Amino acid sequence: MQKPSGLRILYMEDDEGYARLLKVRLERQGFRVELAYDGKEGLEKFGRNTYDVLILDYKMPCLNGIDVLKILKQEEEKNPPIIMVTGMSDVQIAVDAMKLGASDYVIKDSDINYLEILPSVIERAINHKKIQDEKLIAEEALRESEERFRSLFEYSNDAIFIHNPEGSVIEVNAKGCEMLHATLKQICASKMDDFFYVAKEEKEPRRFPDIMEMGSHIFEDRFKVEDGSVIDVEISSCVVSREKGIIQTIVRDITRKKRTEEELIEKNQELNDFTYIVSHDLKSPLNKIKGFLMLISENHNMFDELFPIVIKQSETLISFIDRLLELSRAGKVIDDKININLDYLVNKVFTIAKPPDISVQFSVNGSLPVISGDPIRMEQVFSNLFNNSISFRDPSKKTLVIEVGSKIYKNFALISVKDNGVGIKHEKLDRVFDICYTEGRKGGTGFGLTITKKVIEAHGGNIWADSHGENKGTTIFMKIPLPQE
């Protein structure tokens, strides 16, 4: 309790004798007491000053003690402890005063004994008020904490499930409903076990870990969604209340992260393969050039015989490096698109690509459309496709057949380049556009179709291959945008 010398008391009492007697008694004990002789005066003083305790006599003119309490109750939280002083027969008044916010009451007896007990009543009232204030502060802090939790719960970017140890869902936030494509009612009628994806080869049903025993647990798994899809998730569970058996589980969708990781692994493997092939294909002509030059240095008479071979190997090396540079630029350097007459471009490219010593039957089925693109890059695309057909022709067939066709749709043209070459195994179709992929066949670097794919994608289209198998030819399909009207 605050020391009496620091406590300021306002006593409202219409009997001047009782008022002064109480003032003298309390000030002897160190209290500071001010007097008001009716309720109206008391309220005026209370409005102008700050007091630690109010003592109200019930019977006062203008406004009695109950009237004053009713007025003070309008701002109850700001009021100091209030003590009501009543007569011997006014017990009901004391009860009414307590209901209106009085902290305590004292019965005014004729022997004035109440003055002896008043200091302890003041102390009790102050302690009671302190407890009330601390309770209000605690309740406000709890309310704010609950509001913060509710806000975090509702607006979290992760799904949050509140469930019991058996896995029965008690509550789930909006993100959880969105993630599982389910309603709140559907999810709350389920158990956490129900969300696990169970593969066909798994014989036993999945069980959610015993979080009550573990305390907390973080793991990755897969959830099934109402629309039939499957997502990769990171699950973080912890016990919120052991007494009530409440568990909080936070679920984060990491499907995109997983796919990115898988793509990075594939890209790293592709890069390793690419590095190996490039280093091998660079070293091979370099080693030959070095070997022939050493022979020439040892025997000058071999110059005329070996030097042309050195030149040829150098040209092979330069050509390989040019293709590497071409690959690095493909899909990145696209000039402004213009309307391209494919009929003219395809015939022009084939005339240049056709080897003089091979029998080739070339045809264009119908009239090819006008497309939107970079003409130089599109020439590169058809040059790569024709050269690929020539490089991988079927030696058992006397004539190589190449057919170019097209179908027109609303916003794009579907262009096809078909040949009767060696074909591609069905399981290898997805790999033909990979860097350096040649399926062990001689005659190419494996860059051609990779470059073609990058150029087509840079034009906003896509490309894929189809084949009925080995020695049954190959068809390359390209989806290319048409000019916007």
pLDDT for 66-120, tens place per residue? Answer: 999 999 988 766 789 999 998 766 778 888 888 898 888 888 877 788 888 888 8
Query: CB–CB of 154/174 below 8 Å?
Result: yes
The predicted-structure confidence for 300-322, as pLDDT tens digits, reads as follows 888 888 888 888 778 767 766 77
Is residue 483 classed as helix, strand or coil in its secondary structure?
A: coil
- Taking the alpha carbons of 292, 297, 299, 302 in that order, is the dihedral positive or negative? positive
pLDDT of residue 291: 82
Q: Which residue has the higher pLDDT, 336 or 186?
A: 186
- Cα four-point dihedral sign 318, 321, 325, 327: positive
Predicted pLDDT of residue 274: 63
Q: Answer yes or no: are the C-beta atoms of 353 and 390 closer than 8 Å.
A: yes
pLDDT digits (tens, 9 = 90+) for 256-278: 999 988 888 877 776 676 666 56
Q: Where do the H-state alpha helices sit in 73-215? A: 91-99, 114-155, 174-180, 184-188, 211-214
Give the CA diameter of the chain: 146
Q: What is the pLDDT of residue 4?
A: 59
Please tell me the predicted confidence (pLDDT) of residue 185: 93
Return the pLDDT at 173: 92
For residue 354, the model assigns a pLDDT of 87
Note the pLDDT tens digit of each residue in 453-462: 888 888 889 9
Check residue 40 and give its pLDDT: 92
**What domains does the chain contain, in order, with CATH numbers?**
4-139 (3.40.50.2300), 156-253 (3.30.450.20), 258-329 (1.10.287), 338-481 (3.30.565.10)
Residue 252: pLDDT above 90? yes
pLDDT the model gives residue 73: 86
Distance CA 468, CA 22 (A): 112
Averaged over 338-365, what is the pLDDT? 90
Summarize the confidence of residues 337-346 as an average pLDDT: 90
CA distance 280 to 232: 40
Q: What is the pLDDT of residue 346?
A: 94
Confidence band of 357 (pLDDT split at 50, 70, 90): confident
Q: Which of 223, 190, 185, 218 is nearest to 206 (CA)?
A: 223
Helix, strand, or coil (residue 431): helix
Ranked by mean pLDDT, which of 147-151, 155-159, 203-207 comes out on top?
155-159
For the segment 239-243, the average pLDDT, to the nearest whole number, is 92
Q: What is the pLDDT of residue 228?
A: 87
Chain mean pLDDT for the chain: 85
231: confidence class by pLDDT, cuts 50, 70, 90: very high
Phi and psi torsions of 145, nearest 5°:
-65, -45
Cα–Cα distance, 273 to 266 (Å, whole number): 10
Predicted pLDDT of residue 153: 83
Condensed to tens digits (0 to 9), the pLDDT of residues 25-40 reads 888 888 999 999 999 9
The pLDDT of residue 3 is: 52
pLDDT of 15 over the 60 cut: yes
> 470 pLDDT band (50/70/90 cuts)?
confident
Is pLDDT of 426 > 90?
Answer: no
What backbone torsions phi and psi does residue 195 show, to the nearest 5 degrees?
-85, -15
Q: Using the CB atoms, write b or e for 177-192: b if 16+ within 10 Å.
A: bebbebeeeebbebeb
